Structure 1
Amino acid sequence: MSKPIIPAVVAAVLLSGASCGAFAASEEIRFPELKDSYLKTGDFIGPDHVRRVRPGLNKDQVRLELGNPHFSEGIFGVSEWDYAFNFYTGKGDDYVTCQMKVRFAQAEGQYRVESTHWKNPDCALLVQPPQVVPVAASPTLLPPQKVALSADGLFRFDGSGPDDLLPEGRQRVARLAADIQANFKVLHYVTVTGYTDRLGSDAYNQALSQARANTVRDLLVQAGLDRSKVRASGMGKRQPVVSDCEGTHATPELVKCLQPNRRVEIEVVGGA
């Protein structure tokens, strides 16, 4: 059996990836701002209700599954309905909010579903996760391998995109991808989860952690990992590693104390 990769630390598991089935990609689709929804934070719904929304359904059938749209577009005479749904991540009470658009086309005097779209395509795998080989079916299944990379060592200060990666950060991700490929002959999935410290607003930290996770995911894919098996999510300031740092202003001492919370955690599940 190949030896595990880097020593274990705490890591998050969140399904994400490309859209599948009837759920189309969303590169050219415009979504409203979440703050314009009357719900503000999204509505909890079972994934099975979303899975049942298929091309050909009429508006009444969609409303039975999803309810009324969550924004101000109206019910009748419109060709798009927008929703904001909350899906649990599988980690206690943690959840993510995903925006979904249903597009209709007129047919036989009725508006019928033409396509569905996600603002973040990774949300589609929360509704239809990829099938994972059961543990019992793989006698050589390795224990999940977990690693945490300091965000301060990956990105320039306050950065999150590919242009913000430090040279040594890019090298660390490339070495990690090589280790995964060398030690896992069968790769079930890789989760990449970004975290921030508590400085700044919730919205800013959520966006920053998601962007950093996306960048690391993309680097792993560029290094040869299967895109459909690498999932990215942002947890913002939630689940801090250290919580006893005093102060509310970004002094050098507080920034240094909170450094362990600024991280990107990666978990790998597969077999040898």
Structure 2
Amino acid sequence: MTNRTSSERAKQTPLSLTSISRRQSVIRFLAPVLLFGAIAPAAFAQVVLVPAPPPRYEQAPAPRPGFEWQQGYWQWEHGRYAWIPGSWTAADLHVRHGYPGRIERASMAPAPRVERLSADALFPFDRGNVGDISASGRSDLAQIAARLRSSRASHVEVRGYTDRLGSDSYNMNLSQQRANAVKSALVAQGVPAAKISAVGLGAQDPIVQCTRPSGPGLVHCLQPNRRVELVSFVADDRRWADRYQ
């Protein structure tokens, strides 16, 4: 192999300030693309059903005249199930044959059904319109819509989330835009619009905190927080139905 002189090597690898500056500009231009490519492989786990905890047994206290004991229940709050303890409520009375009688309450409704979809899998980077939803995302939403059309669900709340990167106002707007897009996709699949509400919650209710990573590692770590949740309430769950009347 012929040895090259130092002058020949210098000609082939010039290290001028101009070339360095251009390389830095290219890197800055490609950075968003590289970051999206880094997080995309983690976004293919599409619909995740969040299992509800088993019911808890509560021993009802001694009866109270004019009141009835309402059993505790599981509620979906801040991205997780929370147990709401039982409490006393005023008894509902009605008059029958001239005598007041108590209206029997329906049994406690089951916990709402919660399904999570990765926002990274549904939408391209920084996008949130219904036309931006990926083909795989549309397929998942079509399956969810088919279930909703034949289920006992009285209402579905679509909740959009982002990670903490960016301003609060930007994240709120993007999360609301994505929630609206998912609602529109479900309506297009035959789910009644009146049955669905859409809300953007920005960076609220994070699943992960990611206090140590930075740069691309932080973007990848925060991926679970970028999500859309579909919370379905059953038809006889009056505690939830009253919120949308």
TM-score normalised by the chain length of structure 2: 0.52
The one-letter code of the counterpart of 1:153 is A
Give me the identity figure in percent. Answer: 40
Greater helix share, structure number: 2
Give, as a single letter, the amino acid of the residue that structure 2 aligns with 1:179: R
Instruction: Provide the rounded CA distance (Å) in 2 between the counterparts of 1:166 and 1:252.
Output: 23
1:8 is the counterpart of 2:42:
no
Q: 2:125 aligns with which of 140, 143, 157?
A: 157
RMSD, matched Cα: 2.8
Secondary structure in structure 1 of the residue aligned to 2:174:
helix
Mapped partners of 1:8, 1:196: distance in 2:
19
Task: Specify the alignment match of 2:202 in structure 1.
Answer: 236
Which residue pairs with 1:179 in the alignment? Answer: 147
Give the letter for the 1:187 counterpart: A
Distance in 1 (CA, whole Å) between partners of 2:161 and 2:51 is: 14
Give the aligned residue type for 1:259: Q
Map of 1:116-135 to 2, 5 A cutoff?
none
Q: Hey, what does 1:257 align to over in structure 2?
A: 221
Kept in 2: contact 1:205–1:237 (CA 8 A) = yes
The letter for the 2-side match of 1:209 is S
**Counterpart in the other structure of 2:5:** none
Shift of 1:9: 5.7
**Residue equivalent to 1:194:** 160
* Residues 6 and 145 in structure 1, CA contact (< 8 A), matched pair in contact too: no
CA distance in 2, matches of 1:270, 1:200: 36
Cα shift readout 1:199-218 (whole Å, capped 9, x = no counterpart): 10000000000000000011
- In structure 2, the residue corresponding to 1:192 is in which secondary structure? strand
Residue 170 of structure 2 is matched in structure 1 by 204
| Aligned-partner Cα distance in 2 for 1:225–1:149 | 18
Name which of 176, 179, 182 aligns with 1:216.
182
Provide, for residues 75-97 of structure 1, a one-character-per-residue CA deviation record: whole Å limited to 9, x for no partner: xxxxxxxxxxxxxxx968xxxxx
Question: How far has the Cα of 1:187 moved from its partner?
Answer: 3.0
Q: Could you tell me how far apart the structure 1 residues matched to 2:51 and 2:134 are?
A: 23
Flag as ranges the 4+ runs of structure 1 deviating above 6 A: none
- Do the aligned residues in 2 keep the contact of 1:9 with 1:148 (CA within 8 Å)? no
Change (3 A) 1:197 1:6: closer
Q: In the alignment, which residue of structure 1 is the partner of 2:115?
A: 147
- Provide the C-alpha distance between the structure 2 equivalents of 1:91 and 1:157, rounded to a whole number of angstroms: 27
Q: Which has the larger radius of gyration?
A: 2
Q: 1:9 to 1:157 in 2, by over 3 A?
A: farther
Contiguous gaps of at least 5 residues in structure 1: 11-89, 93-134
Do the aligned partners of 1:195 and 1:209 also contact (CA within 8 Å) in 2? yes
Of 137, 142, 158 in structure 2, the residue corresponding to residue 169 of structure 1 is 137
Q: What amino acid is aligned across from residue 165 of structure 2 in structure 1?
A: L
